[in-house]
Amino acid sequence: MNTQHNPVPRPARISWRLIGWGAAAALLMVPLVAMQFTSEVNWDETDFIVMGALLAAVGGAMELGVRQSGNRTYRAGFAVAVLGAFLTVWSNLAVGIVGNEDRAFNFWFFGVLVLGMFGALVARFRALGMASTLLAMAVAQVALFVLAALSVPASPWPALFFAPFWLLSAGLFALAGRDVR
């Protein structure tokens, strides 16, 4: 009698990591393809290097967030925060948040991100500490909006665009922290 075990083959699974890094590579290729069809998109090597570094930082941050917790709510909070940070840096470098990218006031928006990184380290990436950090980031974002409204001749309204990212992320981290208790 032959007792050989022949397992049923499973279909191949594509990992979320592969999808994420593939999406980052595809996103980096969009301007390259667009440059072949229109003169409206005109990136040089520096633009590709900066965007590549930014996408690598986003991917690395997402890898960190996934490793910090298996809780989906925590991961969602981390993803929303990373998306908000990406959009902050990208828009600030491309066109500036208040006025144009050359306006010195825009440098302060990077301070909100530094506050977030410092807060995450102090909180040791624990959910409730992350919630407090993201709430502080939202307050700092609104404070910068008020300061811009009082001191910068350009429209300050784009400064408020990022506060909902920090608030949503804070709420998700708070929910994740409540689940841990």
Q: What is the pLDDT of residues 138-152, one digit of tens each?
A: 999 999 999 999 988
CB-side neighbour CA atoms (13 Å) of 41: 12
Q: What band does 87 get if pLDDT is binned at 50, 70 and 90? A: very high
pTM of the shown model? 0.85
pLDDT at residue 19 in the model: 87
- Tens digits of per-residue pLDDT, 156-169? 899 999 999 999 99
Q: Where are the domains of the chain?
A: 16-68, 71-181
pLDDT digits (tens, 9 = 90+) for 36-76: 999 998 999 999 999 999 999 999 999 999 899 999 999 99
Mean pLDDT (whole number) for 118-122: 97
Cβ–Cβ < 8 Å for 128, 136:
no
Rounded to 10 degrees, the C-alpha dihedral 167/170/174/175 comes to 70
Q: Which two tokens stand for residue 19?
A: 């999808």
Q: Helical H runs in the chain?
A: 16-37, 45-68, 72-94, 107-122, 127-151, 163-180
